[in-house]
Every structure is written in C-alpha cells, then in structure tokens.
Amino acid sequence: MNPSYQSLSNSTSSFDLEPGTQTFLSFFESYLSDLLDNLEQPVRDLAKHVCLSGGKRIRPFLVYTCGVGKASTEDLLKASAVIELIHVATLVHDDILDSADLRRGSVTLHSKFGEYPSILLGDALFSFALELATDFPCTKICKIVSTATRKTCAGEIQQTFSKNDFLLSSEDYFSIIQDKTGELFNASCSIGSFLSGADETLIDIVGDFGTSLGLNYQIYDDLVDTFGNHDTFGKTLGSDFESGKITLPLIILMESVTSKERKLLNTTLGINKRDFEFRNYLAELFKLHNIQESCISELQNRFNQSKLIASNIPDNALSLRLLNFIESFDFKIGKLISKSDPNFLALT
C-alpha cells in the first residue's frame, strides 16, 4: 500500500485535530481505497464513487480516538473501514428514501446511476463490511457491528413507518434516531476501546458516550435540514419535510401550538406542504413560537450531557480527547444559529 497523506476537503480536518489524528485519517483514505480495489466490477467503481467522495469520517475518528496508543494501527484502520462502509451503505439507501439530489456537495449515487444499482451497492457494502469484520481473531467485533447494523436498520424502518405522523412524540423521535445514528457511534467507540484492551466497564461507558454523541449529531443534522442553507452546508436541504420525515423542529412546533392549531396542522400538513401560502403560514408559526431557539437549546443541553459522560470516563487522556472533540461543535452550531428562517418553507 502506498498511502497518500492528502486530506479531503470535506473530512474531519475541518475540526481542530491533533497531528496524529490527521495522519491517521489521511492514511485511512488510502487504506479504504485499497480495500475497495478488492471488490468486483462494476461494484468497485460505484463503491469508490460514493466512499471516496469526501465525508467527515467521524466514525473512524472515534475508533481511532478510543483505541490510539494501545491498539495496533492495522486493527484500527480495518475496524474504521468496517464502520465507515456500513455508514456509507446507510447513506446510499437514505438518499433514495429521501429523494435527495445532493450529498456532500455532489450528486447522489441514485441520481447519477439510478435507484436499482444504488440499492444493490448499499447491500454489497453491508456485506463487505461484515466480511472484513470476520478477519479479527474473535467474534466480539462482528457482534458489535452486527448489533449496531440491525438497530440502525430498525431505526430506519421505524422512521419510515412514522412518516407523515405529525403527532409523533419527541420521545419516539429520540428513540428512532438513537437507533438510526447513535448505534454506529456507539459501535465506533466500543470497538476502538475493545481493541485497546479496555475492560467491559470502560467499553460500556465509552459506548454510552458514542450513543449520546450520535443522537446529538442526528439532531444537528435534522436542524441543518430545516434551518441551514445550501451554500454553507453543501447538501440537499428541506428533504425531511418534503419526504414526510418528522424531525425535532416540527415536533416542537406541534407541541407549542394550541390544540385547535394542532388539529388543523395534523389534517392539512400532508395535503398542503407544497402550497406557497401554507408554507408562509408555517414560517410564521415557527417564528411566533421561537422554534429555532427551542431546537438549539435542546441540542446544546444534550451536548452538555455528552460532555458529562466524557468527563466521567476514567481514562483521563481519552476523556480529554473526547471533550476537545465535542467543543468543536460549538462552531458548527454557531453556523446554524446564523440562519434564522426555516429554509424549506420558502418556495423557489
């Protein structure tokens, strides 16, 4: 393998990372590319198109951060590849479900090559990830990855069943996204910790941190979809609302309005979501009830919970690394706060 240490523009290098972490993530790009060379044509070309098109690589970062210094680099690279392949597979399928045209500023796979090959590629990436997991000498990695994958799919299924359920509770929403996103974050932290030789108590604590962080990251992503802007975030925005996916902004709105307004919205949201006047009405409700401020407050409170878990990790060096990473989200949340109008409510 001839690794290139060139970072991708959309990678986690946008965060303030330590030099060793930057080197690992750059090395990971080359490692992942070499792994994909083992796939058959035409799966290989499609896989490289979607897997090497950038991305924050947060999950490989977490694997590395929770295992660095005690686990071998080769094990951390392979475990990171397993997790990232599963993550990318879920993105490919998720973009189809959301009818999203852009991902990371580029045309989504299904928009360019069609839905059928995209679905099959996602399946191939799932299979390849589990195949790689069997290379480890024990079954622990396979178990963690398989459980996380199953729960991720369960979260996606439950979210699909909840589409256009405008009375979805915040508790159900958090349960869905904990499975959909939190479980792979949990797996990333748990696997890195396991490879470092940590005991089960530490693995559990680190896994809990991953679950908390993943849930928060999904909330953040959902808020970007509602309050972000295309130029800043480089992805299709407003797709949650268009596809009937119920996320925190709409849930908080439904919990904030009067019972009369709630009944009216419940019966008219699905019918009038593309009507200009109705969107203006929704925009006014969002502003009247300070929905963006409430969402940001919820997100910040939950990040504080993640900080609390990280601060209680008995490995002081690991605790500090994770706390420093969480602090990097203050800048990201700041970018979100700067946009005040719900983007999907303005017809273009």
The mean pLDDT of 314-329, rounded to a whole number, is 92
3-state helix, strand, coil in the chain (%, to 5): 75, 0, 25
Which tens digit of pLDDT belongs to each residue from 29-73?
999 999 999 999 889 999 999 999 878 899 999 999 999 999 999
The pTM of this model reads: 0.89
Residue 344 pLDDT more than 70?
A: no
Sketch out the chain's domains with CATH numbers. Answer: 18-345 (1.10.600.10)
Which tens digit of pLDDT belongs to each residue from 239-277?
788 888 899 999 999 999 999 999 999 999 988 877 888
CA separation for the pair 221, 225 (Å, rounded): 6
Say which residues have a Cβ less than 8 Å from residue 21's Cβ, sequence separation at least 6.
Answer: 12, 61, 64, 65, 68
Provide the Cα torsion 204, 208, 214, 220; round to 10°. -170
Q: Which of 147, 214, 149, 218 is nearest to 182 (CA)?
A: 214
Question: pLDDT above 90 covers what percent of the chain?
Answer: 67
- Output phi, psi for 104, to 5 deg: 55, 35
Say which residues have a Cβ less than 8 Å from residue 338's Cβ, sequence separation at least 6.
Answer: none
* Whether 65 contacts 321, CB under 8 Å: yes
* Whether 226 contacts 238, CB under 8 Å: yes
- If residue 125 lies in a helix (H) or strand (E), which one and from where to where? helix 115-133
Q: Which of 294, 304, 153, 302 is nearest to 226 (CA)?
A: 294
Which tens digit of pLDDT belongs to each residue from 213-240?
999 999 998 998 888 775 555 555 677 8
